[in-house]
Amino acid sequence: MYELVRAGERTYYIDCPSKIGIYRIDEERVCLIDSGNDKDAGRKVLKVLAENGWRPEMILNTHSHADHVGGNRVIQDRTGCKAYCAGTDRIFAENTFLESAFLYGGSPYKELKNKFLLAQTSRVEELTENTLPEGMETVRIDGHSFSMSAFGTGDGVWFVADGVTGEKIMEKYQVPFLYDVGEYLASLDRLEKLEGKVFVPSHGEIYTDMGHIVKANKDKVFEIADVLKGICGEKAGTEDVIQRVFDYYGMKMDENQYVLAGATLRSYLSWMKERGEVESGFENNRLYWYRRGKEEGTGKNVQKGDWPERKPLKEKRFPEAVFLKTEQKINKDEEGLLKNIECFALDMDGTVYLGEQWIDGARDFLKEIERVGKRYVFLTNNSSKSPEVYVEKLRRMGLETGKDKIITSGQAAIAYLKKHYAGKKVFLLGNDLLKQEFKEEGIVLEEECPDVAVTAFDTTLDYGKMCRVCDFVRKGLPYISTHPDYNCPTEDGFIPDAGAIHAFIHASAGRYPDRIIGKPNGDIIDYLIGRTGTEREKMAMVGDRLYTDVAAGKKNGLKGILVLSGEAGLEDAAESEIKPDLIFESVREMIPYL
DSSP string, 400-465: ---GGGEEEHHHHHHHHHHHHSTT-EEEEES-HHHHHHHHHTTPEE-SSS-SEEEE---TT--HHH
Distance CA 87, CA 327 (A): 37
In a domain, 411, yes or no: no
Distance CA 342, CA 324 (A): 30
Contact 325, 36 (CB under 8 A): no
CB atoms near residue 22 (< 10 Å): 25
In a domain, 191, yes or no: no
- Its domain, for residue 458, covers 423-516
Distance CA 587, CA 330 (A): 12
Q: Where among 516, 535, 556 does a domain terminate?
A: 516
Which helix (H) or strand (E) element contains residue 562? strand 559-563
CB atoms near residue 8 (< 10 Å): 17
Domain count across the chain: 4
Q: Where among 323, 349, 370 does a domain terminate?
A: 323
For the stretch 442-479, pLDDT in tens is 999 999 999 999 999 999 999 999 999 999 999 999 99
- Partners of 445 in the beta sheet? 426
In a domain, 288, yes or no: yes
Give the residue-averaged pLDDT of 418-436. Answer: 95
Q: What is the pTM of this model?
A: 0.54
Least confident of 25-34, 40-49, 296-305: 296-305
Distance CA 456, CA 188 (A): 56
CB atoms near residue 433 (< 10 Å): 18
pLDDT-based confidence at residue 292 (cuts at 50, 70, 90): low
In a domain, 175, yes or no: no
Do 434 and 511 share a domain, yes or no? yes
Do 139 and 221 share a domain, yes or no? no
Do 105 and 40 share a domain, yes or no? yes
For the stretch 74-86, pLDDT in tens is 999 888 899 999 9
- What's the pLDDT at 91? 93
In a domain, 193, yes or no: no
Do 85 and 220 share a domain, yes or no? no
Least confident of 182-186, 323-327, 347-351, 372-376: 323-327
- What's the pLDDT at 318? 26
- Partners of 44 in the beta sheet? none
Contact 351, 376 (CB under 8 A): no
Give the residue-averaged pLDDT of 295-305. Answer: 37
Bridge pairing between strands 353-354 and 559-563:
unpaired
For the stretch 101-129, pLDDT in tens is 888 889 888 888 877 788 888 899 999 88
Q: What is the CATH number of the domain that holds 290?
A: 1.10.10.10
Bridge pairing between strands 55-60 and 82-85:
parallel
Phi, psi of 125 (to 5 degrees): -105, 165
Do 235 and 315 share a domain, yes or no? yes
Residue 464 burial (10 A CB sphere; 0-12, 13-18, 19+)? exposed
Answer with the residue of higher pLDDT: 32 or 1: 32
Do 505 and 568 share a domain, yes or no? no
Do 96 and 18 share a domain, yes or no? yes
In a domain, 70, yes or no: yes
Distance CA 25, CA 23 (A): 6
Do 144 and 271 share a domain, yes or no? no
Do 482 and 365 share a domain, yes or no? no
In a domain, 174, yes or no: no
- What's the pLDDT at 308? 40
| Max CA pair span of the chain | 97
Percent of the chain at pLDDT above 90?
A: 68
Contact 141, 160 (CB under 8 A): yes
Bridge pairing between strands 11-15 and 236-237:
unpaired
Q: What is the CATH number of the domain that holds 347?
A: 3.40.50.1000
Contact 537, 337 (CB under 8 A): no
Do 38 and 144 share a domain, yes or no? yes
For the stretch 263-280, pLDDT in tens is 999 999 999 999 889 999
Answer with the residue of higher pLDDT: 593 or 325: 593
What are the helix and strand counts (H, E) for the chain? 19, 29
Q: What is the CATH number of the domain that holds 77?
A: 3.60.15.10
One-letter identity of residue 41: A
Do 541 and 588 share a domain, yes or no? yes
Do 357 and 239 share a domain, yes or no? no
Q: Where among 162, 186, 202 does a domain terminate?
A: 162
- What's the pLDDT at 295? 40
In a domain, 292, yes or no: yes
- What's the pLDDT at 293? 56
